[in-house]
Chain A
Amino acid sequence: MIPASFDYVRAGSAEEAVAALVEHGDEAKVLAGGHSLIPMMRLRLAVPEVLVDITEAGLAGITDAGDHLVIGAATTHHDVATDKVIETHCGVLAHVAATIGDPQVRHRGTIGGGLAHGDSAGDLPAVLLALEGTMVVQGPGGRRTVPASEFFVDYLETAVAADELLVEVHVPKLDDSWGWDYQKFTRVAQAWATVGALALVSSNGTISDARVGLTHMGSVPIRASATEAALAGQSTDAIADAAARAADDTDPPSDLNADADFRRHLATVLSRRALEAAVG
Chain B
Amino acid sequence: MTTTENPIQANVGRTRLRKEDARLVTGRTNFTDDIRLPGMVHMVVVRSPMAHAKVTNVDLTGALDMPGVVAAFSGADLADDAGGLPCAWPVTEDMVAPEHKALAIDEVAYVGDGVAVVLASTAAEAVDAAERVVVDYDPLPAVVDMKAAIADGADLAQSTLDTNVSYRWPLANGDIDAAFDGADVVVEREFVQQRLIPSAMEPRAVVAAPMGVSDELTVWSATQVPHFVRVFLAAVIGIDEQNLRVIAPDVGGGFGSKLDIYAEEILALVLAQKLGRPVKWTETRSEGFQATIHGRDQVQKISLAMDADGRFRGLKVDLLADMGAYMQLLTPGIPILGAFMYSGIYKMDAYDFSCRGVFTNKTPTDAYRGAGRPEATFAIERIVDEAAHELGVDPMELRKRNWIQHDEFPYEMIGTLTFDSGNYEAATARAIEMFDYDGRRAEQANRRDSGGTKQLGIGISTFTEMCGLAPSRVLGNLRYVAGGWEYAQVRMLFSGKVEVITGTSPHGQGHDTAWSQIAADALGVPFEDIIVRHGDTAVSHRGLDTYGSRSLVVGGAALAAACGKVVEKARRVAAHLLEADEDDVEFSDGAFRVVGSPETSMTMQEVSTATFVAHDLPDGMEPSLDSDASVDPDNFSYPHGTHLALVEVDTETGQVELLDYVSVDDVGNVVNPQIVEGQVHGGLAQGIAQALYEGAVYDQAGNLQTGSFVDYYVPGAPDFPTFRTDRTVTPATTNDLGVKGVGEAGTIASTPAIINGVIDAVRHLGVNEVLMPASPRNVWTAIQQAAASGSADSDDAQAAAAVQADDAGPDAAAADNAGQAQHAAGDTGTSTGGDA
Contacts and interface: CB of A to CB of B under 8 A. Distances in A.
Interface in B777-813: 777, 780-781
Contacts of A5: 124, 128
B705 A1 contact: no
A188 B693 contact: yes
Contacts of A2: 123-124, 127
Most B CB within 10 A of own CB, among A187, A266, A269? A187
A1 B719 contact: no
A269 B776 CA distance: 13
B718 interface: yes
B653 A4 contact: no
B716 interface: yes
Given A2-B127, A257-B775, A187 B713 contact: yes
A258 interface: yes
Interface of B is mostly: loop
B580 interface: no
Contacts of A153: none
A222 B713 CA distance: 26
A269 B127 contact: no
Given A1-B284, A256-B705, A257-B777, A188 B124 contact: no
Contacts of A238: none
Interface in B744-791: 775-777, 780-781
Contacts of A269: 652-653
Nearest to B705: A256
A185 interface: yes
B711 A256 contact: yes
B719 A189 contact: yes
Most buried by B among A1, A185, A194, A259: A1
A99 to B, nearest CB: 11
Contact of B776 (A43, A185, A189): A185
The A contact surface, by secondary structure, is: loop
Contacts of A151: none
B286 A262 contact: no
Interface string A249-276: 0000000111100100110011000000
A44 B128 CA distance: 10
Interface in A188-224: 188-192, 194
Nearest to B714: A188
Contacts of A265: 780
Contact of A258 (B123, B127, B286, B777): B777
A266 B128 CA distance: 44
Contact of B713 (A43, A102, A188, A258): A188
Contact of B655 (A43, A185, A189): A185
Given A2-B127, A43-B286, A189 B653 contact: no
A17 B150 CA distance: 61
Interface string A10-51: 000000000000000000000000000000000110000000
B236 to A, nearest CB: 29
B682 interface: no
B706 A256 contact: yes
Nearest to B44: A2
A259 B780 CA distance: 12
Contacts of A44: 131
B697 interface: yes
Interface residues of B, number: 28
A187 B775 contact: yes
Contacts of A1: 284-286
Contacts of B653: 185, 266, 269-270
A95 B131 CA distance: 44
Nearest to B707: A43
B128 A4 contact: yes
Given A262-B780, A269-B653, A190 B716 contact: yes
Interface string B633-653: 000000000000000000011
B836 interface: no
A128 B206 CA distance: 48
A266 B776 CA distance: 10
B710 interface: yes
A188 B719 contact: yes
Contacts of A270: 653
Contacts of B284: 1
B715 interface: yes
Contacts of B713: 187-188, 191
Given A2-B123, A43-B286, A194-B776, A188 B710 contact: no
Interface in B671-727: 693, 697, 705-706, 710-711, 713-716, 718-719
A269 B654 CA distance: 11
A102 B718 CA distance: 10
B125 to A, nearest CB: 9
A192 B776 CA distance: 14
Interface in B113-142: 123-124, 127-128, 131
B737 to A, nearest CB: 38
Contacts of B776: 185, 187, 194, 257-258, 262, 266
Of listed B284, B713, B714, residue having the most chain A CB within 10 A: B713
Contacts of A191: 710, 713
Contacts of B710: 191-192
Interface in B145-198: none
Contacts of B716: 102, 188-190
A43 B285 CA distance: 10
A189 B127 CA distance: 33
A189 B697 CA distance: 21
Given A1-B285, A2-B124, A5-B124, A187 B652 contact: no
The 5 closest A-B pairs by CB, nearest first: A189-B718, A1-B284, A2-B127, A188-B713, A187-B713
Interface of A: 1-2, 4-5, 43-44, 102, 185, 187-192, 194, 256-259, 262, 265-266, 269-270
Given A188-B713, A188-B714, A189-B715, 4 more contacts: A185-B655, A190-B716, A257-B777, A258-B777
Interface of B: 123-124, 127-128, 131, 284-286, 652-653, 655, 693, 697, 705-706, 710-711, 713-716, 718-719, 775-777, 780-781
16 contacts: A2-B123, A2-B124, A5-B128, A43-B286, A188-B713, A188-B715, A189-B715, A190-B716, A192-B710, A194-B776, A256-B706, A256-B711, A257-B775, A257-B777, A262-B780, A269-B652
